[in-house]
Structure 1
Amino acid sequence: MNGVRTALFALIFYPGSAIFAILGMLAAPFSERVVQRIAYGWAAFHRACAAHILRIRVVLEGERPAGQVIYALRHESFFEAIELPRLLGNNPVPFAKAELSRIPFWGRAARAYGMVFVERTQGATALRTMAKAAREYKKTGRDFAIFPEGTRVPVGTAPPLRSGFAGIYKLMNLPVVPVAVDSGHVYRTKPKRSGTITYRFGEVIPPGLDRAEVEARVHAAINALNPQDQRVGVSPSSSSLPGLPDR
């Protein structure tokens, strides 16, 4: 049955996503607010498809705080990347690799929504561009979202954080809310499986901590749902550009 559900999900969700992407692209020149509503609608459509077709249940633990923050999420599958507008509220500004901006229709809509794209091969130039865009969005009061591991990670592993996370933390001077996610065991499998995905919002981490402390606290919190006896690679940090979702 999982194979049948996965095939049906693909037949409904992906064509539907194309429609949302085209609508977002058409709205992009005229209204950021409309694009944000379309993004929320896409996330809600995805959640409905996951619930009713794949039979995936979502559980939230902990509370989203009031005030502007940076959400740092574990990244096990595409599930949480699509979920961001619906999950976090306040139209969060995600950081993403520049390759995603070149996806037909979707890329233009994502840019209009407010996604901050980074050319990871351009080093300091890319970081300056990202910093300028991030400062502008901070003025709007919107939250930020980042996947500090920099790519999707296998279930049971705890890879180091990319060094760019600490740079963004220092640049934005905002509290960080770590979010543990365990989507990989149902959504990244072939076929996808029915089951439960949990988001656990951790304790708010204040701004102004040194790099070692903030990385250690975020690393521990986003891995809180990992099977304790399967963790591999637990060093808090790694040198690279920012934590960006790979797809």
Structure 2
Amino acid sequence: MIGVTLLRSILFALVFYPGTVFAVLFAFPVSLRGPLAFQNYAVGWARFHGWCCRVLLNIHSRVEGPVPRGVALVAAKHQSMYETLELLVLLDRPAMVVKRELADIPGWGRVATMYGAIPVDRAGSASALRTMLRAARAVIAQDRPIVIFPEGTRTPVGEQPPLRAGFAGLYKALGLPVVAVAIDSGRLCPRGSFLRRAGTITFRFHEPLPAGLPREDVEAAVHDRINALDR
């Protein structure tokens, strides 16, 4: 089975990553057609990723619970690259909160910013928070959801770090309900591994938590819910 898994992983790398290079190169002329056209283009790239996963890796998605539509703050578990792209397909043109280092990558960072990615500085300065809020409010004005990975980075299976402060700040400042999403992608696409195993990845969408909850309550509820598949 290791041989089949290795072969599938090599095929995926040979198809998806060169395809992504072309997608980034064509992103700039597409962006001239306007924001909506570019957002749909980005979703098309995410669908290409999903096709590569299904056909080349035999990895599929299973969705549980109500998928939110319209404006909402979506807080998701983060174990692999898989969910960062699959959520673009499952939700309606979501903007994602990404670490500043990713937004600064030449080429890719420019494309991500054009799509509406919301960069966050992990140093958490007041100026960085104001910049993040301005970008988030611009997304809300377009009736789009915002995705944040509140634990801050990809985590190995079994690890449940505390939520970073940026989540609570965004939740309080925006006054939006929050939908927690448990994801178990790390079982098939472990962090730091080239190999991707065949199987099904679950996206469990929980019922929305209302806006205005005390910080301790919303953090505890979100932490418990995003880790519901990691026990």
- Class of the TM-score when normalised by the shorter of the 2 chains: over 0.9
CA apart distance, 1:198: 0.3
The answer to whether the 8 Å contact 1:28/1:108 transfers is no
Alignment-derived partner of residue 214 in structure 1: 218
- Secondary structure at 1:57 match in 2: strand
CA apart distance, 1:30: 4.1
Cα-Cα RMSD? 1.4
Alignment-derived partner of residue 17 in structure 2: 14
- Secondary structure at 1:135 match in 2: helix
CA apart distance, 1:209: 0.2
Is 2:196 aligned against 1:192? yes
The answer to whether the 8 Å contact 1:138/1:172 transfers is no
CA apart distance, 1:122: 6.5
Is 2:60 aligned against 1:57? yes
The answer to whether the 8 Å contact 1:23/1:38 transfers is no
Query: Structure 2: which 5+ runs fail to align?
Result: none
Q: 1:123 to 1:71 in 2, by over 3 A?
A: same
Normalised to the residue count of structure 1, the TM-score between the two structures is 0.87
Percent of counterpart pairs with the same letter?
46
CA apart distance, 1:118: 2.2
The answer to whether the 8 Å contact 1:35/1:109 transfers is no
Alignment-derived partner of residue 230 in structure 1: none
Alignment-derived partner of residue 227 in structure 2: 223
Is 2:82 aligned against 1:79? yes
For residues 18 and 147 of structure 1, the distance between their equivalents in structure 2, rounded to whole angstroms, comes to 25
Query: Structure 1: which 5+ runs fail to align?
Result: 228-247
Aligned residues: 226
CA apart distance, 1:145: 0.5
For residues 17 and 33 of structure 1, the distance between their equivalents in structure 2, rounded to whole angstroms, comes to 20
CA apart distance, 1:29: 4.1
- Secondary structure at 2:147 match in 1: strand
- Secondary structure at 1:161 match in 2: coil
Q: Deviations over 1:29-48 (max 9, x none)?
A: 44111211111111100011
